[in-house]
Amino acid sequence: MLFFTTLFAHSGFEAPWGKDSELNREHFTYIDPAPSADLLAKGIESVILFHQNVISPIDGPRSHFRPTSSRYMLLAIRRYGFLQGYLMGCDRLLRENSDPWVYPKVKIGSKTYLFDPTY
């Protein structure tokens, strides 16, 4: 039965067009970077992990993005360092609204999410 359901599956990724066509990648690699060695980054990472593990399960999911905004900020801090990662995360939180999205989207289950990885 599982085999037959995959025959009718649709891709959840829609390729960008126009000036954003350079965002189209053949494949995405999801490598979770190691935690930061910086003391300030470790402190912020612990706050984000507390939010993800304690507050978010109680409050419920609210993000329209995949990865979620807290995960995005955590990955950005780990990949780019504290300052640039924090600024990227704040920029992401400012875009957490219902404005039209022209970049790739991903469909998970019956809900469509806005796809914005940290690369």
Contact 67, 92 (CB under 8 A): no
Q: Is the previous residue joined to 67 through a cis bond, with omega within 30 degrees of 0? A: yes
List the alpha helices (DSSP H) in the chain. Answer: 2-7, 39-50, 56-59, 69-80, 82-94
Residue ranges of domains in the chain: 34-119
This prediction has a pTM of: 0.67
Confidence of residue 27 (pLDDT cuts 50, 70, 90): very low
The whole-number pLDDT of residue 8 equals 54
Instruction: Say what the pLDDT of residue 29 is.
Output: 54
Using one digit for the tens of pLDDT, what is the confidence trace for 51-100?
Answer: 989 888 888 878 888 888 899 999 999 988 899 999 999 998 888 887 88
